[in-house]
C-alpha cells in the first residue's frame, strides 16, 4: 500500500501519466489532499471513477491520523493530541496558538510535529529521550499530523502559519523521511507553507546539518546546546561527542555562511545545573561575534529531577548574554500544565496527562 501523502507533486504527476491520464489529473488529487482533507479516494469526486478504482487496485490509499486523545491548556491556546497513524503507531502532536496582542504582528498557529516515536539521544532532562527509541516515522505520517490540525483549524476559519520539528524524536536521525515531508509541505502544489515558516530542531547531528545546508531551502535551524562546556553537555546529553560544544558552534557558523539563515541555539535552563552567572559568561565568550541567536528555555517539568530556575536567575542569565552582544530571548512556553511544552512529549504517559 502507498499513501498518496507520500508523493511529491512531481511524483503524483508521473503516476497519473504512467496510468494513461493527462497530467492535470495530478492537481485534481493534490488540491483536495491538502485543502479538502479527504479520507478515501471516493471523497475526491472530481476524479473519474475509473481512475479512483485503478488507484485503489494499484494499492494507493489516503492515510489519515485518527485522534484518540485530546487535552487543551487552561488558556485554550495549546492543544495536544495523541494520534493513531496509518502504521498503527501512536504519536503526540501539539498545536500552539499565539495572540497577536501578546507577540505583535499577526496571529500564529504553530504545529509542533514529531519525526520519531521515542528518541535515541537520551537527553536526561527530556521525557521523550527517557522514553527510548521505538521507530522512525515515514514522511506521510509526519504530514498526517499537520493535515489533522489543518482540518481542525479550517473549521474555525483559521490556518497553519508555522511548523516546528520539535516534537518527539531527533529529526536529523530520520533525515530522508523528514526532508521529504518538508519538501511536500512547502511545495506550491502541496501544502504550500512558506519555507521561512518552518524550523527544524536538532541535538546537533553533523551529517544532518551538513546535508540540510545543501538542500537550498530557506528553513530555520535550531541546535540544542544546553551547556557552555563539553563536560557539562556530556552529562546532559549522553550521546554527545567529547568536543560537541565547539563542533555545534562551528556547524552553526557554517550553516549560516552557506544558507544566509541565522541559527538559533536552544538552551534549556536548569536550576543549579547550567544557569549560573559563571556559565552564562562562559557561554557568552563562546558565542561572541557568532551572529547566532540564543533561545533560553526554563526547563519544563518532566520525569527527571530537574528544577526550573527562578525568574531572577533567568533574567540574569539573559542580561549577561545581552551585555556581551549576544542576541537572546526567553521562550514563551505554552502548554506546560498539560505536558505539551518542550521536552514533555511521551506517548506512554498519555493516560496520566
**Pairing outcome for strands 66-72 and 78-84:** antiparallel
Catalytic-residue membership of 67:
no
Q: Helix 244-259 crosses helix 206-213 at what angle (to 10 degrees)?
A: 10
Q: 123, 126, 328, 342: which one is catalytic?
A: 342
Q: What is the DSSP code (8-state) at residue 137?
A: P
Kind of pairing between the strands at 108-112 and 90-98:
antiparallel
Q: Looking at the chain, how many residues does it have?
A: 353
Catalytic position from the list 13, 92, 170, 266: 92
Other Cβ atoms closer than 10 A to 199:
17
Cα–Cα dist 107/102, whole Å: 9
Whether 342 is a known active-site residue: answer yes
For the chain, state the CA radius of gyration. 21
> Buried (b) or exposed (e) across 258-269, using 16+ Cβ within 10 A?
ebebebbbbbbb
Q: How many CB atoms lie within 10 A of CB 296?
A: 21
3-state secondary structure of 79: strand
Residues marked active site are found at: 92, 342
Amino acid at each position: 500500500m502507498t499513501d498518496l501523502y507520500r508523493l511529491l507533486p512531481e511524483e503524483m504527476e508521473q503516476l497519473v501519466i504512467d496510468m494513461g491520464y493527462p497530467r492535470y489529473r495530478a492537481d485534481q488529487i493534490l488540491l483536495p489532499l491538502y485543502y479538502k482533507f479527504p479520507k478515501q479516494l471516493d471523497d475526491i469526486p472530481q476524479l473519474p471513477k475509473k481512475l479512483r478504482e485503478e488507484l485503489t487496485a494499484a494499492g494507493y490509499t489516503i492515510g489519515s491520523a485518527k485522534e484518540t486523545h485530546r487535552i487543551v491548556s487552561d488558556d485554550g491556546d495549546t492543544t495536544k493530541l495523541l494520534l493513531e497513524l496509518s502504521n498503527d503507531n501512536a504519536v503526540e502532536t501539539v498545536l500552539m496558538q499565539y495572540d497577536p496582542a501578546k507577540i505583535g504582528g499577526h496571529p500564529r498557529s504553530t504545529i509542533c510535529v514529531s519525526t520519531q516515536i521515542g528518541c535515541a539521544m537520551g537527553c536526561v532532562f527530556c521525557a521523550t529521550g527517557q522514553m527510548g527509541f521505538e521507530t522512525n516515522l515515514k514522511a506521510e505520517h509526519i504530514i498526517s499530523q499537520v493535515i489533522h490540525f489543518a482540518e481542525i483549524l479550517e473549521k474555525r476559519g483559521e490556518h497553519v502559519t508555522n511548523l516546528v520539528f520539535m516534537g518527539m524524536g531527533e529529526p536529523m536521525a530520520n533525515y530522508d523521511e523528514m526532508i521529504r515531508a518538508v519538501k511536500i509541505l512547502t511545495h506550491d502544489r502541496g501544502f504550500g507553507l512558506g519555507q521561512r515558516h518552518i524550523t527544524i530542531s536538532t541535538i546537533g547531528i553533523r551529517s544532518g546539518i551538513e546535508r540540510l545546508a545543501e538542500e537550498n531551502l530557506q528553513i530555520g535551524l535550531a541546535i540544542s546546546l544546553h551547556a557552555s562546556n563539553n563536560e557539562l553537555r556530556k552529562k546532559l546529553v549522553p550521546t554527545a561527542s567529547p568536543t560537541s560544544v565547539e563542533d555545534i558552534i562551528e556547524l552553526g557558523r557554517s550553516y549560516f555562511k552557506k544558507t544566509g539563515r541565522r541559527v538559533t541555539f536552544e538552551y534549556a535552563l536548569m536550576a543549579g545545573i547550567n544557569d549560573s552567572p559563571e556559565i552564562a559568561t562562559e557561554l557568552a565568550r563562546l558565542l561572541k561575534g557568532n551572529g547566532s541567536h540564543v533561545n533560553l528555555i526554563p526547563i519544563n517539568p518532566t520525569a527527571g529531577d530537574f528544577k526550573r530556575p527562578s525568574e531572577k536567575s533567568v533574567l540574569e542569565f539573559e542580561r549577561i548574554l545581552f551585555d556581551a552582544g549576544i542576541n537572546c530571548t526567553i521562550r514563551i512556553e505554552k502548554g506546560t500544565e498539560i505536558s505539551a511544552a518542550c521536552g514533555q512529549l511521551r506517548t506512554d504517559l498519555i493516560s496520566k496527562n
